[in-house]
């Protein structure tokens, strides 16, 4: 019998998401923290896993209360904003948090809006949840056109508005007054606003977090992750702080049973207890970022001002050729963003030096 798996019609021929995972000398393409976890953190994680291992015959704490409490404490320490444990949600990466948000607040007949260029996963969450998706162009300086956003919200009545700050792939932050103005328009039309702050810890001094708006905007959710600043992309832990605890109640309805393993919860709690050590790495990455951005500017490139651990730079007639030259030299960066631009993640000082050398060499060839 000939058999064709009855894949959903809208998924036939669709390729799965994924940046190349290549074994090269400098992997600067997916915005990971390049530093292995410090020994003290590895040790604490190992002890935490050993402590929960005998109990793995039981399902984990479904509500992950201890972890959510630790995340609330961390947000207070990092941003000076105190939220209750009933306002915090956690899942396997902020991708899963976002999936939960689409499951609970999107769906057939509903619309999510975002502002391009931005994170390439958003349309996939929309597709998976049968949510309509519309994206509007950012201005040339990568900010969102606030007046346009407000009128789109009033006219099209989305249920979800996605703002990414610092944005991927541009690295740029949205001014908090813009976030507030867009979120106020969303509040008037009954929409949720999600500020994706995956890169928040890398923001420059004086740049506020949208967490500061939680007290004034009941429709606001701020998502964060341990994948970037915390150097824990492999552990899969993302989280969100919602202004209204009823948002967390709704996410609880759509999550799969026991979605966060006891191992994940234990490892994340252990890492949060060492936030200070990990924040020292973040400080080094921020200064490497600023130095690399300055070097690129001096070389005559256009550079988007970055509050993240990556830099968008350009502009190239043939960016693919340049990307390939760098890869041939063992430096993997990302071909993404507006036409003619490339994105490089900030690596260790040694990796950044490799990138600078490879780029200077490649420029002589294109």
H helices of the chain, in order, are 39-52, 65-79, 93-105, 122-128, 146-156, 176-188, 245-254, 262-272, 275-298, 319-328, 349-363
Report the residue from 227, 309, 345, 352 that binds ligand PLP according to the rule CB under 6 A: 227
Report the residue from 28, 198, 220, 267 that binds ligand PLP according to the rule CB under 6 A: 198
Contact status: 89 vs ligand PLP (CB under 6 A): no
Contact status: 94 vs ligand PLP (CB under 6 A): yes
Span near ligand PLP by CB under 6 A; candidates 20-28, 134-142, 221-229, 286-294 = 221-229
Give the angle 226-232-238 at the CA atoms, nearest 5°. 30
Q: How many CB atoms lie within 10 A of CB 340?
A: 12
**Cross-strand pairs, 334:** 343
| Element spanning 194, H or E | strand 192-196
Contact status: 233 vs ligand PLP (CB under 6 A): yes
Span near ligand PLP by CB under 6 A; candidates 45-53, 133-141, 226-234, 259-267 = 226-234
Contact status: 95 vs ligand PLP (CB under 6 A): yes
Contact status: 225 vs ligand PLP (CB under 6 A): yes
Question: In whole angstroms, what is the distance from residue 280 CA to residue 290 CA?
Answer: 16
Contact status: 209 vs ligand PLP (CB under 6 A): no
Residue 272 CB, shortest distance to ligand PLP, in Å, is 15
Contact status: 230 vs ligand PLP (CB under 6 A): no
Contact status: 117 vs ligand PLP (CB under 6 A): no
Contact status: 196 vs ligand PLP (CB under 6 A): yes
Residue 331 CB, shortest distance to ligand PLP, in Å, is 20
Contact status: 112 vs ligand PLP (CB under 6 A): no
Nearest to 17 by CA among 341, 336, 345: 336
Q: Judged by CB, which is closer to ligand PLP: 24, or 30?
A: 30
Which parts of 159-178 interact with ligand PLP (CB under 6 A)? 164, 168
Q: Judged by CB, which is closer to ligand PLP: 158, or 238?
A: 238
Q: How far is CA 302 from CA 252, 293, 299, 312, 341, in A?
A: 44, 9, 9, 8, 9
Give the angle 119-64-250 at the CA atoms, nearest 5°. 60
H helices of 56-159, in order, are 65-79, 93-105, 122-128, 146-156
Contact status: 288 vs ligand PLP (CB under 6 A): no
Contact status: 119 vs ligand PLP (CB under 6 A): yes
Give the angle 214-219-224 at the CA atoms, nearest 5°. 55
Residue 226 CB, shortest distance to ligand PLP, in Å, is 7
Radius of gyration of the chain measured on its C-alpha atoms: 21
Which parts of 29-58 interact with ligand PLP (CB under 6 A)? 31
Contact status: 238 vs ligand PLP (CB under 6 A): yes
Question: In whole angstroms, what is the distance from residue 275 CA to residue 77 CA?
Answer: 10
Instruction: Please give the residue ranges that form the binding site for ligand PLP (CB under 6 A).
Output: 31, 93-95, 119, 164, 168, 196, 198, 225, 227-228, 233, 238
């Amino acid at each position: 019998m000939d058999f064709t798996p009855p894949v959903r019609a809208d998924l036939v021929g669709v390729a799965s998401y994924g940046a190349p995972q290549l074994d090269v000398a400098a992997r600067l393409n997916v915005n990971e923290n390049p530093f292995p976890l410090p020994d003290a953190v590895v040790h604490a994680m190992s002890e935490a896993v050993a402590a929960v291992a005998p109990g793995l015959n039981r399902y984990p704490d479904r509500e992950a209360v201890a972890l959510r409490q630790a995340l609330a404490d961390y947000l207070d320490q990092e941003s000076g904003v105190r939220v209750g444990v009933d306002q915090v949600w956690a899942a396997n990466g902020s991708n899963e948090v976002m999936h939960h948000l689409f499951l609970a607040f999107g769906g057939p007949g509903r619309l999510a809006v975002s502002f391009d260029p931005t994170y390439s996963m958003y349309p996939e969450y929309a597709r998976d949840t049968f949510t309509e998706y519309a994206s509007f162009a950012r201005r040339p300086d990568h900010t969102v056109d606030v007046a346009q956003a407000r009128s789109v919200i009033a006219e099209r009545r989305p249920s979800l508005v996605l703002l990414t700050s610092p944005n991927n792939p541009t690295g740029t932050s949205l001014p908090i007054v813009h976030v507030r103005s867009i979120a106020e328009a969303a509040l008037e039309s009954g929409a949720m606003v999600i500020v994706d702050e995956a890169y928040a810890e890398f923001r420059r001094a004086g740049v506020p977090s949208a967490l500061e708006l939680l007290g004034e905007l009941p429709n606001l959710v701020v998502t964060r992750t341990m994948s970037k600043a915390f150097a824990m992309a492999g552990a899969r832990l993302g989280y969100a702080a919602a202004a209204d605890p009823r948002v967390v109640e709704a996410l609880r309805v759509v999550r799969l049973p026991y979605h966060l393993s006891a191992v994940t919860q234990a490892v994340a709690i252990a890492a949060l207890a060492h936030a200070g050590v990990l924040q020292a790495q973040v400080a080094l990455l921020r200064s490497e970022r600023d130095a690399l951005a300055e070097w690129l500017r001096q070389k005559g490139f256009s550079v988007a001002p970055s509050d993240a651990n990556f830099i968008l730079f350009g502009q190239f007639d043939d960016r693919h050729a340049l990307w390939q030259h760098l890869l041939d030299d063992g430096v993997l960066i990302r071909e993404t963003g507006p036409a003619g631009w490339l994105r490089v993640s900030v690596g260790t000082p040694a990796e950044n030096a490799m990138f600078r050398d490879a780029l200077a060499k490649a420029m002589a060839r294109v």
